[in-house]
Amino acid sequence: MTQDIASLDAPDLPVRDGSNSRKVFVKTYGCQMNVYDSGRMADALARDGYVQTEDMQDADLVLLNTCHIREKAAEKVYSALGRLRDMKKERAAEGREFMIGVAGCVAQAEGEEILRRAPAVDVVIGPQTYHRLPEALKRARAGDRVVETDYAVEDKFEHLPATDKAKIRARGVTAFLTVQEGCDKFCTFCVVPYTRGSEVSRPLAQILDEAKKLADGGVREITLLGQNVNAWHGQGRNGESLTLGDLLYELATVPGIARLRYTTSHPRDMDDRLIEAHRDLRVLMPYLHLPVQAGSDRILKAMNRRHTAAEYLTLIERIRAVRPDIAMSGDFIVGFPGETDADFEATMALIKTVHYAQAFSFKYSTRPGTPGAELGDQVDDAVKTERLERLQALLFEQQRAFNEGCMDKEIDILLEKPGRMPGQLIGRSPWLQSVNVDAKASQIGDIIKVRITGTGPNSLFSELVAG
C-alpha cells in the first residue's frame, strides 16, 4: 500500500529562468513518488529546451501529473482539463502553442478514455513511460494524439538525463530517490498494482550513482521511495542477494548524506536486516511509516493484507526494542465493506497499543477495477463518518502527546528553508516534525542543535543551543 492514500496535492516545482525557451507548468498531485517523477520529467523536458514556470498563463505546455488513489481523482482531472481546454482556445486565437499532457496514475488507468473525453489533450503518458515524454510531444506537434501507457520493457531510469547540480541545489537540501516501483500485494482496496504494475527494483549501482549526484548537489537528506519500498531487492558486487536494509548500509557511506528515510513500507517486508539497520545506522532517522489499515483480523483478511494484528504489534515491539526512540506513523481505512462495530473497536484498540506520532486516515471508497469494488455489505456513509471522527480524534490526541513529549528536549534539526520572520529558519526533527528557530548565524543545509520550547498541532518551536 502506497502512501498516496495519505497525501494532498504536492507543491508545484520551482521556476527555471529562460525567456527564449518553451515553458512548462507542472502540476503534481498525490504522493512523494509523483513529486519525484515530476522532477525527472522536467529534467527530460529540459534536454529539449523546456524551462519551468510557476505561472500557468505563461506556459507553452501544461503537464498534470496525476494520482488515482483518492476518491473521484479522475473526475478532478477532467474538471481541470476543461479549464485548460478554454485556455487552449484562447492561445489558438492568438496563434500561440499551448499543449496539454496528462501523466501519472490517472493517465495509466484511463488511457484512451482521456483523449475521448478531453479532445484538447495532446499527450497521455503513464508512470512507466515518462522517459518517452519528449518524443511523445514531438509526435503530438506533428499531428498525433499520443497515448503511452504500456509497461516499458526498457529501464526508464537509464533513458533519463542526469539532473545537473544547479537544479539539485534549486530543489533544496532534501530529496526523494525512487528505488522501487509497483506492487505485488494486491490489497483489495488499492489500485496501485493496476496503475504502477508489478514490483520492480532499481539496481544498486544506479541508486548509489544518483545518491552521490544528489550529495554533490548539496542534498543532506534522502528519502527512498517505493510503493512497497521495503520490497526492494538487488544484487551486490559479488552477486549476493540484497534487501532494503543492505541498501541503507550502502547509502550510509555516501559522503555528504547526513540523513536517510524511506517510505512506504509493508509489514510483510520488514525483515531482520532492515530492523538491524534501524539499530546500527544513526544516519537512518527514527521515523517509520508502516501502514496497518485496520486492527481486526477479519477485515485484514478481507483486505488481503496477509498479516494479523498480533503479527503487526509483534513487529512494532521488535523495532522499538532496537530503536526505542522511533516514532511510528500509519494509515487507516474505516468503513471497509463488512466492518462491524467490533471490527472498528479492534482498530481503535490497536491504535491505543501502538501510540502513533502521526497517521493518516480515510473513509473507505471504492476504486473501479479493484476486488473491493465488488464486495457487498457496504457500510453506511454516516457510520463511516462517525467512526472516522472518533478515530481521528484519538490519532490527533496521540500526535499532540508525542509533540508535547518533545518539550525541553535538545535535538538536532536539519535546516530546510527560511521562516516567516526575519532570522527565522525552519528545519526538520529526526521524527519529521517541522521546527521553527531563530538562527541568524546558520544557513540552509546546516544541522544544528536546538532545545524545544513550544509545540503546535503540526510544528515545534525551539531555541538554538549554544556551543
Binding-site positions read 31, 67, 105, 183, 187, 190
* 437-442 long-range contacts, CB within 8 A, separation 24+: 437/413, 437/461, 437/462, 437/463, 437/464, 438/463, 438/464, 439/415, 439/464, 442/415
Q: Which three cell numbers stand for residue 357?
A: 506520532
Q: Quickly tell me which residue has 495509466 as its cell.
A: 108
- How far separated are the first and last CA of the chain, in Å rounded? 44
3-state secondary structure of 406: coil
3-state secondary structure of 99: strand
In this structure, the dihedral spanned by the alpha carbons of residues 180, 185, 186 and 190, taken in order and rounded to 10 degrees, is: -60
- HSE-CB at 77 with a 13 A cutoff on CA atoms is 36
Summarize the annotated binding site for [4Fe-4S] cluster as residue ranges.
Answer: 31, 67, 105, 183, 187, 190
The Cα 385–Cα 367 span in angstroms is: 19
Cβ atoms of 168 and 138 within 8 Å: the answer is no
Cβ atoms of 222 and 211 within 8 Å: the answer is yes
Q: Which three cell numbers stand for residue 164?
A: 545537473
> Which run of H or of E encompasses 241?
strand 241-243
Q: Which three cell numbers stand for residue 340?
A: 462491524
Q: Which three cell numbers stand for residue 314?
A: 509483534
333 Cβ neighbours under 8 A, 6+ residues apart: 5, 189, 293, 294, 303, 361, 362, 363, 364
**H-helix segments, 69-216:** 73-94, 105-110, 112-117, 133-141, 156-159, 165-171, 192-195, 204-216
290 Cβ neighbours under 8 A, 6+ residues apart: 265, 267, 270, 312, 315, 316, 328, 329, 330
CA 317 to chain centre: 26
